[in-house]
Amino acid sequence: MLLVNIGCGNVYHLNWINLDLVSSSPNVIAWDFRHGIPYDSNTFNVCYSSHLIEHFTQNEAKKLLTECLRVLRPSGIIRLAVPDLEAIARNYLLALERSLSGNIEAQADYEWMMLELFDQMVREFDGGEMGKYLSRSDLLNREFILSRIGYEAEQFWEKQREHLSGKPNLIKKLSSKKFGWLVQKLRIVIAKFLVLLIAGKESAKAFEIGLFRNSGEIHQWMYDRFSLAILLEECGFVNIRVCQAHESRIPDFNSYGLDVIDGKVRKPDSLFIEACKP
């Protein structure tokens, strides 16, 4: 059985072919998904993608899912995980009602849900206001945040602890990067300097924000169980089903540790959905 993980990040399994925009490991193939998927039609039994398509425009997401359909074999399964807009909206409204009643802890939850709704769509710098919020030493709703984003929060706080303990080493971090990454960073530094030199500070700032917003961190769209099912149907998929993190039609899916790790859902804020190629 051939399986492909589209946009794997640093969570992948060696039994899968793992693709991402930037390779985080020799086991991950670097690929720009705007150019399709670099495999022949009818190659894979399973295509999996977690928290990727929301970073594309609606048209780009549709093109990518059409590519997933192409590379899947007949009766092949696609599994998607995306931030669940419906759950975000419901939690926001619940936190709003509780905040209006004077509940102090609910006010912290309300602030967090506002960030979930908007921050990753409007932010202009790495991590955004969400990163600032997670860095607070006086968090009142740590458990609520864990219930919402789970593994992501744990990773953020672990990196924060490492930074405070002085563990990170700049030379070591740079040595772990590929040569192409270093060249690209150097090109950006030179480009920023030239824009500043030619067009001034405001243009240089606009250039910097534009580069960031096209870096892949921004959410270009959001989905719920209705809109994502319609999108999959428009791309040609059938037997579309919303499922839980631990449920799947993919044989032995939970053994790969992609959505559930050590019994915990990696991204609890997710909508999980599966569909088949006719």
| pLDDT-derived band at 177, boundaries 50, 70, 90 | low
pTM above 0.85, yes or no: yes
The per-residue pLDDT for 221 is 97
| pLDDT-derived band at 197, boundaries 50, 70, 90 | confident
Percent of the chain with pLDDT over 70: 93
The per-residue pLDDT for 65 is 99
- Rounded to an integer, the average pLDDT of 98-117 is 95
- The rounded mean pLDDT for the chain is 91
Q: Where are the alpha helices (DSSP H) in the chain?
A: 58-71, 85-100, 104-122, 128-134, 142-149, 151-164, 170-175, 179-199, 201-213, 225-234
| pLDDT-derived band at 160, boundaries 50, 70, 90 | confident
**Distance, CA of 174 to CA of 177 (rounded, Å):** 5
- Rounded to an integer, the average pLDDT of 106-123 is 96
